[in-house]
Chain A
Amino acid sequence: MQNEYDVVVIGGGPAGLAAAIKSKELGLKVLLIENREFIGGIPIQCVHPGFGLHYFREDLTGTEFIYRLIEKFREMEIEHYTNAHVLEIIPHSYRHKILKVVTEKGLLNIMTKTVIYATGARERHIFEIGITGHRVAGIYTAGEAQTMMDIYGIMPGKEIVIVGSGDVGLIMARRFTLEGAHVKAVIELMPYPGGLTRNIVQCLEDFGIPLYLSHAVTRVEGRKRVEKVIITKVDENLRPIPGTEKELECDTVVLAAGLVPYLKVIEKAGVIIDPATKGPVVNSYLETSVPGIFVAGNALVINDLVDYVVEQGEEAAMGAYEFVKNEGLSTVKWKKLVKGRNIRLVVPHYVSEAKDVMIYARVAKPEENIKLRFPEIGKEMRLPFVKPSEMIRIKLRKRDIAKAEDKITMEVVPNE
């Protein structure tokens, strides 16, 4: 069959590019499929710095970071389609999958031994976060606003209210202000900010932008265009408190209310989803519950840093390499990573003593002066603080994993 590959990478963002580059380096026959007209993904529109401190040991903008990968990808002459969309992944046999792909050349059936799914995330939209009121012009997701402003040079509005204080919301607040718009407020549902502290400082405090914690935008009002929003205080159960409503006049509402792994195609292939990460359940090769389908980047788990996304792309490529070389991953005893006290999510879900594994976790609530503990393997470390907004990334060594029977618990305990 002409269209037969060792690995097909779906998605041409940082995870996909890293996966494709690594796969080619390992000698695999690789194809990358991207549905936009250009490769690069979201960092193409991230003009702010803060990228690459771990991976390149330099402070780069998103654009500079991704162009380093794009250049490498081009130098290696990796086969790819842009403007192409994967409709379906059909598990054909244990060792083969068929991809139905719409391309500029028409509908293609592509046979591959493995798939690396790196489609990134989608933004949570207005219907998911309980905002009622008029459906008028002037409501954008942060990503849409960023595409308009930083790729096409169009200002989405003048008087802005931002919903959500994750890094995306904070960075957009600064971008709007720098470009001459007036950011009236950033509204955060939780009692603590969602983004990194450095972004609170350099994106809000630098410009005197107010941050309303424990508040929700409950209603948007306007006739043709947004004219105002109603914000309401919320109680400890995050429910709006009647009588605390306040009006903020604005012409634009920007939703930065979080990201969800984008899994449309992979779900149809039957992978099991973790309700905590909203991404697939994976083993330490980042292989999903469908053998030969791997996942990396924000499609796996919402990451803080593009550096982690790239790392996962490379990890998935190494998994695909093992799969192709051995006609399937060898059977090992999987040990479950169990979420203990104050751990909200952790990936991968299963580890084995066959290799060292990088684990990524998030806590449920902020806590100071704590110990991070893995009781079954006798590993612990002290940390000054943990926050839900800051991912914990640590390596578990195979000799440590070998100490556990059938599970390894990860927990946060007070440091006494």
Chain B
Amino acid sequence: MSEIKKFKLTCIICPLGCPIEVTMEGDKIMRVTGHRCPRGYEYAVQEVTEPKRVIMSVVKVKGGIFPTVSVKTDKPVPKKLMPEIMKKLADVEVEAPVHVGQVIIENILGTEANIVATRPA
């Protein structure tokens, strides 16, 4: 029988910040408690298997209303890829006009997430 581990998490899905406890036996999830919605359950399972985050930044713009345009990943990406994605974004420069939702980089690092603009420029 494999070892029983308990993970105490704080849900980051919404500002309520529910304290969630996940009980695992080896790689198997035995019990999830403390969440108040299905999204909290999903978050907890994801967090103990492969934590993911939405990444946000700004990239340079040529000829826009602001010198930068803000961007994010359109879905959460593995947390461990954060530094690599940020490095990629540092070299990006786009041409104005940019509209909200415009894809800046498709399928970043094979994550199936796109980098999209969140502010016009």
Contacts and interface: CB of A to CB of B under 8 A. Distances in A.
A275 B55 CA distance: 39
Nearest to A37: B65
Interface in A194-228: 196-198, 200-202, 206
Contact of A198 (B10, B57, B66, B86): B10
A49 B116 CA distance: 13
Interface in A52-81: 53, 60-61, 63-64, 67
Contacts of A47: 56-58, 70-72, 118-119
Nearest to B68: A153
A206 B53 contact: yes
Interface of B: 9-15, 17, 53-58, 60, 65-68, 70-72, 79, 82, 86, 90, 100, 118-120
Given A47-B57, A198-B10, A202-B12, A67 B86 contact: no
Interface in A28-68: 38, 44, 47-50, 53, 60-61, 63-64, 67
Contacts of B17: 196-198
Given A150-B58, A153-B68, A67 B15 contact: no
Contacts of B54: 49
A48 B56 contact: yes
A391 to B, nearest CB: 9
Contacts of A201: 9-10, 12
A390 interface: yes
A51 B69 CA distance: 18
Contacts of A304: 15
B120 A67 contact: yes
Name the 10 nearest CB pairs between A and B, nearest first.
Answer: A197-B17, A47-B70, A63-B119, A198-B12, A153-B68, A61-B118, A63-B118, A198-B17, A197-B10, A47-B56
Contacts of A107: none
Nearest to A151: B66
A186 to B, nearest CB: 17
The residue in B11, B67, B70, B90 that gathers the most chain A C-beta atoms within 10 A of its C-beta is B70
A392 interface: no
A268 to B, nearest CB: 33
A208 to B, nearest CB: 12
Given A153-B67, A198-B10, A178 B55 contact: yes
Interface of A: 38, 44, 47-50, 53, 60-61, 63-64, 67, 149-153, 175, 178-180, 196-198, 200-202, 206, 304-305, 390
A90 B74 CA distance: 48
Chain A interface mostly helix, strand, loop or mixed? mixed
Contact of B79 (A38, A150, A206, A305): A206
Contacts of A60: 118
Contacts of A198: 10-15, 17
B57 A178 contact: yes
21 contacts: A47-B70, A47-B72, A47-B119, A48-B56, A49-B56, A50-B15, A53-B14, A53-B15, A63-B100, A67-B100, A67-B119, A151-B66, A151-B67, A152-B67, A153-B58, A178-B56, A179-B86, A180-B86, A198-B15, A201-B9, A201-B10
A357 to B, nearest CB: 22
A196 B13 CA distance: 12
A380 to B, nearest CB: 20
Nearest to A46: B70
Contacts of B11: 198
A208 B11 CA distance: 18
A66 B95 CA distance: 22
B68 A151 contact: yes
B101 to A, nearest CB: 8
A150 B15 contact: no
A67 B68 CA distance: 16
Contacts of B57: 47, 178-179
Nearest to B11: A198
Given A49-B72, A196-B15, 16 more contacts: A38-B65, A44-B119, A47-B118, A49-B54, A50-B15, A60-B118, A64-B100, A67-B119, A67-B120, A151-B67, A152-B66, A153-B68, A178-B57, A180-B86, A198-B15, A201-B10
A201 B7 CA distance: 14
Given A47-B58, A201-B12, A150 B53 contact: no
